[in-house]
Structure 1
Amino acid sequence: MKFFYKMFLGMTVILAVALGMIEYVTLSYSLEHAVKREQDSALSQHQMIKYSIETVILNMKSEDVDKELTDMMSQSAKSIVGDEGGMYLADDDGKRIYANSCNYEQKDIKVKDGTLTYSIVSKENTKDTGEKQSSRYIHVKSSFKLNDNRYILITESDITPVFDESKELRYRCSVYYIVILAVGMMVILILSWMITKPLAGLTATTKKFADGDYTARSDVKTKDEIGELAKAFNELAKNLESKVYELQMAAKKQEDFTANFAHELKTPMTSIIGYADTLYQKKLSEDEVHSAAGVILNEGMRLEALSFKLLELITLDKNDFRLEETRVSEIIADCVETAREAARKHNTEIVYSADEAWVWLEYDLFKTMLLNLIDNAVKSGGSKVEVSGRLISHSIYRIAVSDNGRGIPPEDIERITEAFYMVDKSRSRSEHGAGLGLALVSRIAKLHDTKIHYESESGKGTRVYFDMKAEALDEK
């Protein structure tokens, strides 16, 4: 059963029971109070008649006591008990002395001497129309003794109107009960709908989330417990979405590793293939063969070392690579020499100059970073690439790569370090680019505690630089 129906039926039952209890208590108290009032009145009337009888007996002047009592009781019957009331007086032997509208058998007038009792009795009466009706009376009986004579007095008072009023009141209460219950059910229906509507919305949102829509959020904005539940659900959904995203990124990272690794293989493989092709196609001098073989050996060894370090950098997020103090001018020269073959294919001239200094770096990763920057400059479409290393202060060494190529649009500057983001997709694909180079450069720069800065103007070229802590060569 839905919570809406449970709430509606539950509150309706509670309302019905509560109204029934109130009606029962009200009617019971009203009838009990009215009957008690009639009882007190009947006892008071009985005592008044009893005192009158005692007065007559004590002050009688003739020997015919029964006649004087009969006369007195006849005169006082209407004034004391009214037309509907009754009085009955008998002596100890059960002989009736007076009776107006009531008569009793011998067994009905038994009462202990000096006691007073009362009870409510019902009588069947017949109306003038022949219809029978039930009437209720209060009977009060007492026994008293005067002048060696014992008397039994019985009075009755009609309390049928009290029960008739109670019946009328019960009817009215039943009408009010039905009306109030009907109105209450309407109010409960509306309240149940208002309370369960946010829960229905929260349930719908939960189903969306369960079906894979991790962006689904509850729009319940109430300030009650349901609102707090919706807020807690939104927090839970946000955390779960974050965890799902992390899992997706972990899976994607495994895929990216292959793409990154393939991308990083391209630069050394280009040099290896280029020099190997030169050795295959041309007749070279012994020195030229030795130089080309040296480049191939150097790049092959770097490729081997790079494969292990890329594995640690990309898949394991390892950031504890060992930095060694290195002569920076040598690694800059090495990178430029490695890139010359690719530059010749693009008809681009590479020039460089570098101040002598010692810099803390990881050789293979640093070379990968610088080669990526030079490679991007070579592919920019310009005719010249400048690589420089300058000791700009006592402890800061700045390495810059500049070109006079096509430049980078301002709106793309902030996004070029995003993985797979390419400014010119058609050019990048034709050159087998994947948009991963600068993303990897950014991570390697962070490993060396530095940051890559980009300055570019469309149609005029790009300048990329980064600063590293260094020591001048003459301080060694």
Structure 2
Amino acid sequence: MLTSSRGISLILALAISALVAAFLSLVPDSNWSVLLVAGGLSFSVSYLLITITLEFLVFREIGQIYSLLEKIQKKDLSEINDKSIRSSLSPLRKINTVINSYAIARQKEIETLQKNAEFRREFIADISHELKTPIFATQGYIHTLLDGAIDDKQVRMKFLKRAAKSLDSLDVLVKDLLTLNQMESGVIKFNFTDFDLKDLIQEVIDQLEHKASKRDVVIKLEFDPEKSHITHADRQKIYRVCQNLIFNAVKYNHDGGEVKVTLKSQKNTIQVDIKDNGQGIPPEDLKRIFERFYRVEKSRSKERGGTGLGLAIVKHILEGHKSKISVSSTVGKGSIFSFSLPLEKEKKPIEKTPVFENK
């Protein structure tokens, strides 16, 4: 009772009323009725004010602090937020704010550690699976040759070619992993130059035309010939971005499909849209397609090849150009991948004014 706000308020109110009555008793004209009324009023007012002060400005804050400390001890930080920080009016607000901020920081740290741990588990599982396929395939071909098939010239050449193909796939996977790691760590530097984005995309189309023709896929490039398409970027890396996106549009299209690459020169940017009319991407997969090794259809993607790192590399290259890759897709109708680069204004030659000499 004595340690509660009401007990403390009662003791302090009695002391205040006794002091008031004692002072009034020194007044010559005071009597017992005046002392009783003054003592009662001072007691009531003091009790209410002290109770409100202690309850709402001290004990409640201390209770919140204890509650926060218990949650931190139990590692239950899910209900902690900034509301209690803003609504606190107590003199203990600074302590409560510091503890609350610490608890929120701890919550974010725990969530980050949990996400990193989950990412590491998924990454190790994914990379183990990706490495296992070409290694096991190569082992199978080599051991078959060592078991006696090497004497058959026809079988020997066929198995050696398949083993070499598996090792080439492994080499591409390792190179993509190194590239991605170097980009994330900032080791790879960008070499920015001015170049015509239209010409670059035409080079990519010319390179992929042979693969597209095997499945009767048509690649079209649409642009306004009267507008400029000069940009300032790393040509080699933007070539890789366009190559990856157009190749995916061909690979995941249906036989006889169409890939349309559109260039739109705007005020200060050039927007590139790569549209296909293939199988499309389900909504639940759209947010994850730029993650490492993430595949929408693992079985079909495995048959069609690829390391599963292409879109992750595309994302990092464009982030290095302060741009973003966006995608919209409808299942059964196709997908559109879009990104933009700065439009470099054409520099007009300076006309020299003829100088006339006075003779």
TM-score tier after normalising by the smaller chain length:
0.5 to 0.7
| Separation in 2, partners of 1:368, 1:182 | 79
Seen in structure 2, the aligned counterparts of structure 1 residues 10 and 421 have a Cα distance that, compared at 3 Å, is: farther
Seen in structure 2, the aligned counterparts of structure 1 residues 455 and 11 have a Cα distance that, compared at 3 Å, is: closer
Contact map agreement 1:378 1:403 (CA 8 A) in 2:
no
Q: How does 1:78-117 map to 2 (within 5 A)?
A: none
Q: Does 1:444 align with 2:317?
A: yes
| Separation in 2, partners of 1:203, 1:403 | 59
**Paired amino acid for 1:208:** K
Of 337, 360, 369, which aligns to 2:234? 360
Seen in structure 2, the aligned counterparts of structure 1 residues 466 and 296 have a Cα distance that, compared at 3 Å, is: farther
Q: CA RMSD in A?
A: 5.9
In the alignment, which residue of structure 1 is the partner of 2:182? 312
| Separation in 2, partners of 1:368, 1:208 | 48
Q: CA offset at residue 308 of structure 1?
A: 1.9
Q: CA offset at residue 419 of structure 1?
A: 3.9
Q: Does 1:321 align with 2:189?
A: yes
Relative CO higher for 1 or 2, CA cutoff 8 Å, sep ≥ 6?
A: 2
Q: Does 1:383 align with 2:227?
A: no
Seen in structure 2, the aligned counterparts of structure 1 residues 224 and 374 have a Cα distance that, compared at 3 Å, is: same
Deviations 1:118-156 (A, max 9, x none): xxxxxxxxxxxxxxxxxxxxxxxxxxxxxxxxxxxxxxx
Structure of higher CA gyration radius: 1
Seen in structure 2, the aligned counterparts of structure 1 residues 236 and 332 have a Cα distance that, compared at 3 Å, is: farther
Contact map agreement 2:277 2:334 (CA 8 A) in 1:
yes
Contact map agreement 1:404 1:461 (CA 8 A) in 2:
yes
Contact map agreement 1:360 1:470 (CA 8 A) in 2:
no
Per the normalisation by structure 1, the TM-score is 0.45
Deviations 1:211-267 (A, max 9, x none): 23244136553545456765665555544444444444544554454466568769x
Seen in structure 2, the aligned counterparts of structure 1 residues 352 and 242 have a Cα distance that, compared at 3 Å, is: same
**Paired amino acid for 2:54:** S
In the alignment, which residue of structure 1 is the partner of 2:347? none
Q: Residue 172 of structure 2: SS of its match in structure 1? A: helix
Per the normalisation by structure 2, the TM-score is 0.55
Contact map agreement 1:209 1:216 (CA 8 A) in 2:
no
Seen in structure 2, the aligned counterparts of structure 1 residues 264 and 331 have a Cα distance that, compared at 3 Å, is: farther
Q: How does 1:168-187 map to 2 (within 5 A)?
A: 169=31, 173=35, 177=39, 181=43, 184-185=46-47
In the alignment, which residue of structure 2 is the partner of 1:98? none
Q: CA offset at residue 455 of structure 1?
A: 5.2
Q: CA offset at residue 354 of structure 1?
A: 8.2
| Separation in 2, partners of 1:248, 1:307 | 23
**Paired amino acid for 2:318:** A
Q: How does 1:225-244 map to 2 (within 5 A)?
A: 225=91, 235-244=101-110
- List gaps (5 residues or longer) in structure 1: 35-165, 472-476
**Paired amino acid for 1:321:** K
| Separation in 2, partners of 1:373, 1:455 | 15
Q: Does 1:22 align with 2:20?
A: yes
Deviations 1:407-452 (A, max 9, x none): 346x66973556489896xx44675699976455322332355543
Q: Residue 25 of structure 2: SS of its match in structure 1? A: helix
Contact map agreement 2:134 2:167 (CA 8 A) in 1:
no
Q: Residue 173 of structure 2: SS of its match in structure 1? A: helix
Q: Does 1:415 align with 2:283?
A: no
Seen in structure 2, the aligned counterparts of structure 1 residues 255 and 205 have a Cα distance that, compared at 3 Å, is: same
In the alignment, which residue of structure 2 is the partner of 1:69? none
Contact map agreement 1:408 1:458 (CA 8 A) in 2:
yes
Q: CA offset at residue 332 of structure 1?
A: 5.7
| Separation in 2, partners of 1:366, 1:309 | 15
Q: CA offset at residue 454 of structure 1?
A: 3.5
Q: How does 1:187-198 map to 2 (within 5 A)?
A: 188-189=50-51, 191-195=53-57, 196-198=59-61
Contact map agreement 1:415 1:421 (CA 8 A) in 2:
no
Of 173, 183, 189, which aligns to 1:303? 173
| Separation in 1, partners of 2:116, 2:42 | 63
| Separation in 2, partners of 1:396, 1:13 | 75
Seen in structure 2, the aligned counterparts of structure 1 residues 438 and 14 have a Cα distance that, compared at 3 Å, is: same
Q: CA offset at residue 307 of structure 1?
A: 2.9
Q: How does 1:54-65 map to 2 (within 5 A)?
A: none
Say how many residue pairs are matched: 310
Q: How does 1:263-342 map to 2 (within 5 A)?
A: 299-314=169-184, 316=185, 318=186, 320-323=188-191, 328=200
Q: How does 1:429-468 map to 2 (within 5 A)?
A: 431=301, 438-448=311-321, 450-454=323-327, 456-466=329-339
Seen in structure 2, the aligned counterparts of structure 1 residues 174 and 323 have a Cα distance that, compared at 3 Å, is: same
- List gaps (5 residues or longer) in structure 2: 143-148, 223-229, 345-359
Q: CA offset at residue 367 of structure 1?
A: 4.4
Calculate percent identity across the aligned residue pairs: 17
Q: How does 1:202-217 map to 2 (within 5 A)?
A: 203-210=66-73, 211-217=75-81
Contact map agreement 2:20 2:39 (CA 8 A) in 1:
no
Q: CA offset at residue 312 of structure 1?
A: 2.6
Seen in structure 2, the aligned counterparts of structure 1 residues 437 and 264 have a Cα distance that, compared at 3 Å, is: farther
Q: CA offset at residue 171 of structure 1?
A: 9.3
Q: Residue 405 of structure 1: SS of its match in structure 2? A: coil
Seen in structure 2, the aligned counterparts of structure 1 residues 229 and 421 have a Cα distance that, compared at 3 Å, is: farther
Contact map agreement 1:391 1:398 (CA 8 A) in 2:
yes
| Separation in 2, partners of 1:289, 1:470 | 51
**Paired amino acid for 1:374:** F
More strand by share: 1
Seen in structure 2, the aligned counterparts of structure 1 residues 402 and 187 have a Cα distance that, compared at 3 Å, is: closer
